[in-house]
Structure 1
């Protein structure tokens, strides 16, 4: 099969959230893992260094921030740009956000675009959950991937069953999910579709990524806001749980 020609992409999302614009700016710039994952904060100037080897191309706090990478180092992507525009609403009590993810995919364009687009929806939802329920609490972040057997579109349904979620449980439902070691997690099912599951507990955002739709193993991230959170212990517990889910696959 021949390699596809490089092609630009652009993913645009707009939303409003019930917090001041400065809180959105802090969540984006501090890059603590509160809604994505830990990364170095950008150098606060145009031309400064940004996350993952990017360069800051727009710096206008607390309204606009853009970073761009020309050498992404991924086999299917050669350029990546993230652009945030944040404006006040209701005399600064709320914020309007425009998020644009763009760049160049060098191969497998349709699959790469589909995955990036759907992940964007989930990431921005997690940003709003963080801002609404947890900001500005510091976060302890853990992430892990399932075994090779979880690299299938059916994997997320297996995880939902292992959590004890009914097939008709919709986003917004309060649930008693079965976590590592049989521990019951009193949670809100804050996000659910065929690709992702999100649980919000009193102290954490637990995210399940059904990446088998794009040929990758299922992933879990835990954004833990408890004071005594232990990332290594959290990762180990959920890794054991996830391996058990797919041990018979």
Structure 2
């Protein structure tokens, strides 16, 4: 049964309105995934969207209809960003609204979208504060079928070497690909997601098994010699090994 939804969030961030605008329009691979858009109202945007509002650096909105070929459980999707200056333009206030129509499995779809929103917007703030404007190599990957199990995401924390009581803000050494130790800060952690920030990367771990999908990883690598394909291969081998 089709039903409308709306997910709204507001936050302030230590970044200028222009930096926020750049991040949500041309720098999405630094915190979410690569997405291009024509810089005008009526322009094409990623995943079949059309730009409905283009007012830099104040408001940006997109809309997509007839999404079933891309997202079988969704008929309409709208994203709306409002940006206002704070502290004389040194900071920004952002309001984000994600709305549309889910056509099936409404409760599960809404829960997943809402929780992913919190993680993505947190990652946006991490990007703006620590890496804004830096070139990035982006890669993303999914785990094997076994990572769909109800308790599969717990294995990710153990494989990284995180204790059950390791909380956000903790500086840690985690075990990455081929057993390499990585110095990082746990910038986000709950039962569904883990976020790690190193000096040169944002590492995102997604417990999508909670919604019937495989566990996933995204790597935003800002190192000068970053290699997206090498990152993908290394972390794929690591993630496959977690469930071997």
TM range (shorter): over 0.9
| Kept in 1: contact 2:35–2:45 (CA 8 A) | no
> Is 1:68 matched up with 2:63?
yes
Q: CA deviation at 1:50?
A: 1.3
| Structure 2 gap segments, 5+ residues each | none
| Structure 1 gap segments, 5+ residues each | none
Q: Which runs of 4+ in 1 moved over 4 A?
A: none
> Is 1:112 matched up with 2:135?
no
Residue aligning to 2:98: 101
2:166 alignment partner, one of 154, 161, 169: 169
| Kept in 1: contact 2:16–2:89 (CA 8 A) | yes
Distance 2:152 2:218 in 1: 16
2:16 alignment partner, one of 7, 17, 20: 20
Alignment of 1:1-249 (within 5 A): 5-40=1-36, 42-72=37-67, 73=69, 74-247=71-244
Deviation string, structure 1 residues 94-120 (Cα, Å, up to 9, x no partner): 000000001100000000000000000
Give the TM-score taking structure 2 as reference length.
Answer: 0.98
Aligned residues: 242
| Kept in 1: contact 2:204–2:217 (CA 8 A) | yes
Q: CA deviation at 1:43?
A: 1.3
Q: CA deviation at 1:152?
A: 2.2
Q: CA deviation at 1:32?
A: 4.2
Q: CA deviation at 1:153?
A: 3.0
| Kept in 2: contact 1:173–1:189 (CA 8 A) | yes
